[in-house]
């Protein structure tokens, strides 16, 4: 069974969309989406620097657009067995599953990015990945420092979120067994109570949506469960901005569903890295550039016939 996944914020790098725009129709598609959400995705995906694309209001639509662009380039002949996205990648996955069309997904993520950027501006906050360490040691340590385990990613990785002062304390006082604490390229404490103001804004943006039920298994960040109703997918997308991402549980569900291949859409790498550790033996492909498309198509074909 093939699983398609979409990465979250922090996966973007300067110029990462440049090679994708050489594909037939790709630049036209990106310009059309840019017009629909009043954001120059071509500029931000090709010429913008790291600081420009770190801006939450830019990064989130850019990542969804990248995932959709690579999805269309992949040209699947059949619906995948399951889809999921990490954080903002959940909106990309909702489009993969047919819950939203491309334009609706991009309009929703544009509203999400703006709302979360506003919420992040209230207090200086951020996120940091803890590499290594056991959850039963790491989680109480984060609680002691006032930090939230905003992403429980499995495979020895938990992402802490909180104020700048709390993150500085974590850098000085790592939990026992943690190898490194790595600051992330995000502008706020996402998936924590700091994002509560964004929920109301996103609820308003979601009112005009007409979601369809997923065409395939849509695996939710909230609890790793498969969601079968379109309205429930949207409800979870709205609430998830202020609640932890349980990617560990998503990967457990992939295993239970019988995953035999996993493709991470552009800009791939982070989620395939986690899958290699949590789902040993499952072939993976990360779409970083169009050069990776042939390998992904081979894996899709192998999964369909395996």
The percentage of residues in the chain with a pLDDT greater than 90, rounded to a whole number, is 92
Nearest Cα neighbor of 23 from 249, 284, 258, 291 is 291
Give the pTM. 0.94
Average pLDDT over every residue of 284-305: 94
Domain borders along the chain are 2-120+192-305, 125-183
Average model confidence (pLDDT) across the chain: 95
Q: Judge if 2-120+192-305 and 125-183 fold alike in CATH terms.
A: no
User: pLDDT of 3-42, one tens digit each?
Assistant: 999 999 989 999 999 999 999 999 999 999 999 999 999 9
- State the pLDDT at residue 131: 93
Tokens 């385990």, residue? 149
Q: What confidence tier does 304 reach under pLDDT thresholds 50, 70, 90?
A: confident
Architecture of domain 2-120+192-305 in this structure? 3-Layer(aba) Sandwich (3.40)
User: pLDDT of 121-141, one tens digit each?
Assistant: 998 999 999 999 889 999 999
- State the pLDDT at residue 205: 93
Q: Alpha helices of 15-101 — where are they, by DSSP H?
A: 26-37, 41-46, 50-54, 56-74, 89-96
Tell whether domain 125-183 is in CATH 3.30.70.250: yes
**Does residue 191 have an active-site annotation?**
yes
Query: Which of 86, 141, 191, 194 is labelled catalytic?
Result: 191
Q: Contact at 8 Å (CB) between 128 and 167? A: yes
- State the pLDDT at residue 280: 95
User: pLDDT of 201-227, one tens digit each?
Assistant: 999 999 999 999 999 999 999 999 999
pLDDT exceeds cutoff 60 at 268: yes
In angstroms, the CA 157 to CA 217 distance is 25
Query: Which of 86, 87, 141, 194 is labelled catalytic?
Result: 87
Nearest Cα neighbor of 27 from 69, 74, 63 is 69
Q: Which DSSP state fits 127?
A: E
């Amino acid at each position: 069974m093939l699983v398609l996944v979409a990465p979250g914020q922090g996966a973007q790098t300067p110029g990462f969309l440049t090679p994708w725009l050489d594909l037939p129709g790709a630049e036209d598609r990106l310009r059309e989406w840019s017009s629909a959400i009043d954001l120059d995705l071509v500029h931000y995906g090709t010429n913008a620097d790291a600081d420009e694309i770190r801006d939450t209001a830019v990064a989130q639509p850019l990542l969804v657009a990248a995932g959709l662009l690579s999805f269309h380039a992949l040209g699947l002949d059949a619906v995948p067995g399951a889809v999921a996205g990490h954080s903002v990648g959940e909106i990309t996955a909702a489009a993969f599953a047919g819950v939203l069309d491309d334009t609706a997904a991009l309009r929703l993520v544009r509203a999400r990015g703006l709302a979360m950027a506003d919420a992040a501006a209230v207090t200086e906050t951020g996120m940091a990945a803890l590499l290594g360490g056991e959850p039963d040691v790491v989680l109480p340590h984060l609680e002691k420092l006032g930090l939230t385990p905003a992403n429980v990613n499995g495979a020895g990785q938990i992402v802490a979120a909180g104020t700048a002062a709390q993150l500085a304390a974590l850098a000085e006082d790592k939990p026992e067994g943690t190898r490194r604490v790595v600051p992330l390229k995000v502008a706020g404490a996402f998936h924590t109570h700091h994002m509560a103001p964004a929920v109301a804004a996103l609820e308003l943006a979601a009112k005009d949506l007409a979601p369809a039920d997923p065409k395939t298994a849509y695996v939710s960040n909230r609890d790793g469960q498969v969601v079968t109703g379109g309205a429930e997918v949207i409800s979870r997308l709205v609430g998830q901005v202020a609640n932890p991402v349980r990617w560990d549980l998503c990967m457990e569900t992939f295993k239970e569903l019988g995953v035999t291949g996993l493709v991470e859409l552009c800009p791939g790498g982070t989620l395939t890295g986690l899958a290699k550790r949590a789902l040993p033996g499952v072939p993976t492909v990360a779409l970083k550039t169009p050069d990776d498309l042939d390998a992904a198509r081979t894996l899709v074909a192998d999964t369909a016939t395996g």
